[in-house]
Amino acid sequence: NAGVMQNPRHLVRRRGQEARLRCSPVKGHSHVYWYRQLPEEGLKFMVYLQKENIIDESGMPKERFSAEFPKEGPSILRIQQVVRGDSAAYFCASSPLSQGISYNEQFFGPGTRLTVL
């Protein structure tokens, strides 16, 4: 069983370019979460998606950042016109069911380390 896969593992972009980060959830999981880890910090929630729906994007910057989870294919986190402050590790996690009070474990991917020159 393959776990959560993220690619690329490392991504280098120059200021002003676009970054696309991909996340393939565990097979059968229909819920995806994106987190950002800045240097020397813990992970911070960005967005929660189900297939074709954004459920909670309260942690997502209002500009330049977008996320999607199409019916087919991986989830994509897109950062337009990257700036140096976007340099971070971006983690994706997936779970099989919605998490309300009943706990469903989130399985984390290995992360994508974005470096903006």
Partner 1 sequence: AQTVTQSQPEMSVQEAETVTLSCTYDTSESDYYLFWYKQPPSRQMILVIRQEAYKQQNATENRFSVNFQKAAKSFSLKISDSQLGDAAMYFCAYLTGNQFYFGTGTSLTVIP
Question: Is 91 within 8 Å of 114 (Cβ atoms)?
Answer: no
Tell me whether residue 42 or residue 72 sits nearer to partner 1 (CB atom): 42
What secondary structure does DSSP assign to the chain, as a single string? Answer: ----EEE-SEEEE-TT--EEEEEEPPTT--EEEEEEE-TTS-EEEEEEEETTEEEE-TTS-SSSEEEE--SSS-EEEEE-S--GGG-EEEEEEEESS--SSS--PPEE---EEEEE-
Count of residues interacting with partner 1 (CB under 8 A): 27
Binding of partner 1 at residue 111 (CB under 8 A)? yes
Tell me whether residue 92 or residue 116 sits nearer to partner 1 (CB atom): 92
Binding of partner 1 at residue 40 (CB under 8 A)? yes
* Selected binder of partner 1 within 88, 89, 114, 116 (CB under 8 A): 89
Tell me whether residue 48 or residue 65 sits nearer to partner 1 (CB atom): 48
Stretch that binds partner 1, among 21-29, 50-58, 69-77, 79-87 (CB under 8 A): 50-58
Tell me whether residue 54 or residue 76 sits nearer to partner 1 (CB atom): 54
